[in-house]
Amino acid sequence: MSNKFDEWIDRGNRAWIVFFIVLFIISLGALAVHAGYDQYLMRWIIPHIGPEFAIETNNATDITTNSAVLHGNITGAENVTAWFEYGQKAGSYSFKTANQSLYGNTSFSATIEGVHLFPGTTYYFRAAGNNSTTTLYGEDLNFTTLSLSTFEDKDFDKHYNELESSNFNLTDLATVLPKSYTDLMVDSRIFYGIFFGIIFLAMWIRQEDVTIPALLGMIVGGAIWVFFTGELLRLAQALFIISFAGLVYSLIKGRGG
């Protein structure tokens, strides 16, 4: 059988073999296009050439004295890890946001805030993405935080709308209710620090022993610090710091007495 096949090829039928192979590939491609699998077929026939996705940086929004929301778009993403990089110098980025796993064509965003953002300061940022083989970056853009001398309009109704949209969920109450006050501060930790500080100050004025409350505050603050994020994390940080200060005060007072 093998000899007959070799004789058939030797008689000049190689052209027919090539023809049938090409016809098979064309038919397979047409079937793949019809079924919507053309992109996977091309990756099988043609090895990976160049990046498989595109990423772009969009303008920042919701800019305050110490926060902003960064935006970006990504197309052709398949298991792409995306993030934002930002800093005070163009082309030099000291900070990055948390990674986000993206698929398909989608937009993504990240909120940046905290004491490392200063009022009236220009920050440069860009979107970035990696698909395990290629890392791409979007255009470098910038935003300027509001100056402390600039009066910021506060929409306190939006917090009520947040509660209303969640049907006044008890978990959301603890997070949303303080926002009407923390919005007035550069950082919500300042508000929580003042709140807990007033409690300890009242105890100090009454000459009460603050050792046990301080230890309890450090335990509670430390527990919240480990297990929670977001606004509760800021509350925990403020409680822990104020409680630590109260404990130091009680120790100094005890040695002095």
- As a whole number of angstroms, the distance between CA 239 and CA 219 comes to 10
Matching residue, tokens 């969640």: 166
User: Are residues 217 and 172 located together in one domain of the fold?
Assistant: no
Which pLDDT belongs to residue 49?
47
User: Are residues 13 and 35 located together in one domain of the fold?
Assistant: yes
Q: Has residue 160 been placed in a domain?
A: yes
User: Are residues 124 and 194 located together in one domain of the fold?
Assistant: no
Q: Has residue 149 been placed in a domain?
A: no
Q: What is the CATH number of the domain that holds 106?
A: 2.60.40.10
Q: Has residue 124 been placed in a domain?
A: yes
Q: Determine the structural domain holding residue 158 and report its residue range.
A: 154-178
**Which among 118, 102, 120 is positioned nearest to 110, based on CA atoms?**
102
Which pLDDT belongs to residue 154?
54
Instruction: State how far the alpha carbon of 180 is from the alpha carbons of 28, 63, 175, 176, in Å.
Output: 62, 17, 11, 8
User: Are residues 58 and 140 located together in one domain of the fold?
Assistant: yes
| Buried residues in 192-213 as b, exposed as e (16+ CB within 10 A) | bbeebeeebeebeeeeeebeeb
Q: Has residue 224 been placed in a domain?
A: yes
Q: Has residue 214 been placed in a domain?
A: yes
- As a whole number of angstroms, the distance between CA 92 and CA 190 comes to 30
Helix ranges restricted to H, 101-208: 157-165, 170-176, 179-182, 188-205
User: Are residues 34 and 7 located together in one domain of the fold?
Assistant: yes
User: Are residues 36 and 104 located together in one domain of the fold?
Assistant: no
User: Are residues 67 and 134 located together in one domain of the fold?
Assistant: yes
Domain count, the chain: 4
Q: Has residue 78 been placed in a domain?
A: yes
User: Are residues 174 and 197 located together in one domain of the fold?
Assistant: no
If the chain, 257 residues long, is cut into consecutive pieces of 10 residues, what is the mean pLDDT of each piece? 54 56 65 51 48 88 92 89 93 90 91 86 95 89 84 54 61 57 55 65 63 70 63 70 74 62
**Which among 252, 190, 241 is positioned nearest to 214, based on CA atoms?**
241
Which pLDDT belongs to residue 48?
47
Which pLDDT belongs to residue 51?
53
